[in-house]
Structure formats: C-alpha cells, structure tokens
C-alpha cells in the first residue's frame, strides 16, 4: 500500500524556483480503493486509519457529506476549547482527510457537480490527469473565490487579488494604523516590505508616494501576487521582488524604511501555508541580528504585531519588547489598536481572546554603535 506523502516543504527559499507552490499532484496507484455513494462512513474511516487510501467517484456532494462527517468526528475526539486543541483538532482532521483523494483531469475535478476553479489549469498546466487531496481541493476553491472577487482594504482605491497560498489580512486594524502613520511621514524614497504576502503593505507604501518598494518573501506565490496586482495598477515599475529570508542578499544602503508584519504565533511548522502565521524559536533573534547588521543608523524599522499569543497564554515574552533589551534599536513610537470585532453570539475561546488582543505598530530606529 502506498500512501500519498504529505509534501515536506523546505522553508528556506530556493530562488531558482520560479514555479508557484501548489498542492502536490498525486499519481494514480492500483492499491487505492474507490469511494462510492452509499459506503458506510464509520467503516470507511476505520479503513483510512488502517492507511487505506480512497479515491472519490460519482458525486461531489457525497464526498462533501463524508468530509463534514469527518469534521464532526474530529470535534468529538478533540473538542476545540483553546489554541492547542484547535491545532490538534486540525491535525486530526488532516490525518483523516489525507487519505481522501479526488480525481482531476484536463483542468477540472471530474466528480459530478464539483465546483470548478481556475487554479487547476493555472497551477497544473502540464498534468493531464492526477489525484489531489480533497482538503487541498477545498483550499483551492476557497482561494479562487478571493482571487476572483478581489479584496478591498481601507484607504486603497483598488482591490487586491491574493494568489493561491498567500497570506492576506482578514482584519484591517493594523493596516489602518500603518496607513495613518504613513500619512504623517516625510517623502519616502525606497522601502523594504519584508514578507509581503498579498502585497498589501507595499500598496500602502506606493499610495503614500514611496518612489520604490522592494518586496520580499520566502513564498514565491507572494511575489507573484504582488507583481500581478502591481502590473494591473500600472505600478510595476516602482516595485521589485526578491525571494529571500529576512535580509539575506539584500542591498540596504538606499533604504529609508523597512516594514515587516511577521508571523505572530510561536509554534514550529514545516508547512509553507502556516509559515505566514507561525514563528519558530529563533525567528526574532535571527531577524533582529540581521537587522542590526545591515541597517544604517537612523533607518526606521516598522514592525506590525498582534498580541494574540500573549493574550492566549502561548508565550510570556513579547518578541519586540525583548529585542529592545538586547539589540541596538530604540523605540520611536508605538501605536496600538484593539481588535474591532463585533461581539460574537457564539462564545468561543477565540472571541474571548479578541476582547483583549491588540494590533501594534512599533517604529524602531537603528541606534549608532
Ligand atoms: C503575517 S504575514 C504578513 C503578510 C503581509 N505583509 C501583510 O501584512 O498582510 C507574514 C509574511 O511573512 C512571510 N515570511 C515568513 N518568514 C519570513 C522570512 N524569514 N523572511 C521573509 N518573509 C517571511 C510569510 O511567507 C508571510 O507572507
């Protein structure tokens, strides 16, 4: 029995890679079983736990029904009451659903009634027929809706279209802080938007007249996302993109501002989608060590940060407060805003945290040695 391997992704960027990251296509294997309508869900799950792999056949609705049932089973086994249980629940559901595959052919999921999305032909132009995890297919569908519709952000006159697998903000407090702070700054010539994601901070910099923005990310899809939107807005000549981690290989002499909205959850990950939100134990030390080496005295370093992990009790240490004690940076300004979330009818652990969570904008300055 050969089980499809979960793609292990090297989070060290490989600049020679110029094709987008995508869910791994899976080859047909004669040992895989067919998932057909009428199959007993409990029996199916037992077989999946015994490492059998199922390929869906027939209607999309029946696979969706099974997936919803799997979600309920995961919630029964691991009820979500806090961050840790939400992670464990997600991992359990993933372990169930990793063995549920859907057939893809000529740019489409071939199940009856399956929703279609343009990512399949965009991301798999050379693969005529293959299998994909159902959970990945759901992810592609969701992402396609955001990409097609576009997302509006306060103060930007055009919508952004996040490419597949790219982080984009769903709340905007930190963007409002940055937009308002930028409006009071003198003319910027060259800024670095580190970890650009869907490019939203780069667009605010451009809006405020920054002449040139260099945007980086470890995720090649983020760079594609920014380039595509910048081109659509006629801004590409003011943008350059570099696939790199932190400041590696960057020429910083001409920069008068660096902005970084880093991951805010202290947890290890080897999954490139989670690398937008999770930071490993050496993350901030590496960032500030390199920043101290490459930034010339006086250069401003803007770090956007959410206090989520502190409010959730995942850490006692604020990485920026810690950095100010150990690295040659001084505090210029700190602005913060509570989360503006309407009270939720469902009292979840998350809405409790949101009551005290804040978004912060830290303006630091490299001190002279
Ligand atoms: C929280 S997201 C912020 C994205 C975007 N700047 C925003 O404000 O919405 C963090 C981004 O940093 C990127 N990232 C994570 N580690 C990085 C590193 N070592 N160097 C550069 N970018 C990194 C992630 O891929 C992700 O796009």
Question: Tokens representing 204?
Answer: 């605010």
The residue whose CA has the least distance to atom 11 of ligand 1 is 195
208 CB-side CA count, 13 A: 22
Q: What span, in angstroms and rounded, lies between the C-alpha atoms of 278 and 265? A: 5
**What per-residue confidence (pLDDT) applies to 8?**
37
Q: What span, in angstroms and rounded, lies between the C-alpha atoms of 366 and 350? A: 36
To test the pocket of ligand 1, the residue of 160, 161, 167 to mutate (highest count of ligand atoms within 8 Å of its CB) is: 167
Q: Is the CB of 273 under 6 A from ligand 1?
A: no
CATH 3.40.50.150 domain span(s) along the chain:
150-366
Q: Is the CB of 162 under 6 A from ligand 1?
A: no
Ranges 37-41, 107-111, 174-178, 276-280: which has the least confidence: 37-41
Question: Tokens representing 152?
Answer: 């509006």
Q: What span, in angstroms and rounded, lies between the C-alpha atoms of 195 and 302? A: 13
Distance 196 CA to ligand 1 centre (A): 6
* % of residues, the chain, pLDDT over 90: 78
Residue 298 pLDDT level (bands cut at 50, 70, 90): confident
Q: Please give the mean pLDDT across all residues of the chain.
A: 91
**What per-residue confidence (pLDDT) applies to 6?**
43
Q: Give Cβ neighbours of residue 219 (< 8 Å, ≥ 6 apart).
A: 13, 21, 165, 166, 272, 275, 276
Distance 46 CA to ligand 1 centre (A): 39
To test the pocket of ligand 1, the residue of 176, 250, 276 to mutate (highest count of ligand atoms within 8 Å of its CB) is: 276
Do the Cβ atoms of 286 and 237 come closer than 8 Å?
no
**What per-residue confidence (pLDDT) applies to 363?**
98
**What per-residue confidence (pLDDT) applies to 345?**
59
Do the Cβ atoms of 201 and 192 come closer than 8 Å?
no
Q: Give Cβ neighbours of residue 126 (< 8 Å, ≥ 6 apart).
A: none
Q: Is the CB of 361 under 6 A from ligand 1?
A: no
**What per-residue confidence (pLDDT) applies to 1?**
43
Instruction: Tell me the three state secondary structure of residue 239.
Output: strand
Distance 198 CA to ligand 1 centre (A): 9
To test the pocket of ligand 1, the residue of 14, 175, 201, 218 to mutate (highest count of ligand atoms within 8 Å of its CB) is: 218
Sequence-ordered alpha helix ranges (H) in the chain: 41-49, 60-77, 83-97, 119-123, 134-149, 173-183, 200-207, 220-232, 283-294, 308-311, 319-326, 349-354
Distance 224 CA to ligand 1 centre (A): 14
Question: Tokens representing 242?
Answer: 């570099």
Question: Tokens representing 180?
Answer: 């308002």
Question: Tokens representing 38?
Answer: 């009428």
**What per-residue confidence (pLDDT) applies to 37?**
74
pLDDT tops 90 at residue 7: no
Q: What span, in angstroms and rounded, lies between the C-alpha atoms of 146 and 226? A: 15
Strand partners, 329: 366
**What per-residue confidence (pLDDT) applies to 16?**
62
Fold entry, domain 150-366: Rossmann fold (3.40.50)
Q: Is the CB of 276 under 6 A from ligand 1?
A: yes
**What per-residue confidence (pLDDT) applies to 221?**
95
The pTM is what? 0.92
Q: Is the CB of 219 under 6 A from ligand 1?
A: yes
Closest residue by Cα to residue 277 from 268, 285, 286:
268
**What per-residue confidence (pLDDT) applies to 107?**
92
If one counts every other C-beta atom within 10 angstroms of the C-beta of residue 224, the result is 21
Q: Is the CB of 117 under 6 A from ligand 1?
A: no
Q: What span, in angstroms and rounded, lies between the C-alpha atoms of 265 and 274? A: 10
User: How large is the average pLDDT for residues 62-84?
Assistant: 93
200 CB-side CA count, 13 A: 30
The residue whose CA has the least distance to atom 14 of ligand 1 is 195
**What per-residue confidence (pLDDT) applies to 338?**
86
The residue whose CA has the least distance to atom 19 of ligand 1 is 245
Q: What span, in angstroms and rounded, lies between the C-alpha atoms of 63 and 111? A: 9
Closest ligand 1 atom to 260 CA? 6
Question: Tokens representing 256?
Answer: 């008068």
């Amino acid at each position: 029995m050969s089980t499809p391997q979960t793609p292990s992704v090297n989070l060290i960027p490989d600049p020679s890679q110029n094709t987008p990251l995508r869910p791994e296509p899976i080859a047909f294997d004669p040992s895989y079983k067919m998932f057909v309508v009428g199959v007993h869900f409990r029996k199916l799950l037992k077989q999946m736990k015994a490492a059998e792999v199922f390929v869906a056949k027939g209607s999309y609705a029946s696979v969706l029904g099974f997936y919803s049932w799997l979600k309920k089973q995961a919630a029964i086994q691991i009820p979500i009451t806090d961050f840790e249980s939400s992670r464990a629940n997600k991992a359990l559901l993933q372990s169930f659903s990793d063995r549920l595959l859907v057939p893809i052919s000529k740019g489409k999921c071939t199940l009856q009634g399956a929703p279609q999305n343009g990512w399949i032909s965009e991301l798999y132009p050379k693969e005529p027929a293959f299998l994909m995890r159902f959970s990945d297919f759901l992810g592609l569908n969701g992402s396609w809706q955001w990409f097609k519709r576009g997302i509006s952000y306060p103060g930007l006159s055009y919508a952004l279209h996040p490419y597949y697998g790219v982080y984009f903000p769903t709340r905007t407090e930190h963007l409002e802080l940055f937009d308002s702070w930028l409006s009071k700054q003198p003319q910027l010539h060259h800024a670095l938007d580190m970890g650009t994601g869907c490019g939203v901070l780069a667009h605010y910099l451009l809006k405020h007249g920054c002449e040139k923005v260099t945007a980086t990310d470890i995720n090649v899809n983020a760079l594609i996302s920014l380039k595509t939107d910048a081109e659509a807005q006629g801004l590409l000549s003011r943008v350059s993109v570099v696939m790199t981690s932190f400041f590696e290989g960057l020429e910083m002499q001409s920069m008068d501002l660096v902005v970084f909205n880093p991951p805010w959850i202290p947890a290890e990950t080897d999954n490139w989608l989670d690398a937008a939100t999770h930071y490993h134990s050496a993350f901030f030390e590496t960032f500030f060590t390199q920043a101290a080496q490459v930034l010339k005295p006086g250069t401003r370093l803007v770090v956007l940060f959410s206090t989520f992990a502190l409010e959730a009790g995942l850490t006692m240490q604020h990485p920026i407060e810690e950095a100010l004690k150990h690295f040659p940076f001084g505090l210029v300004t700190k602005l913060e805003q509570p989360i503006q979330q309407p009270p939720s009818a469902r009292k979840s652990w998350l809405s409790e945290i949101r009551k005290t969570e804040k978004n912060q904008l830290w303006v630091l300055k490299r001190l002279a040695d």
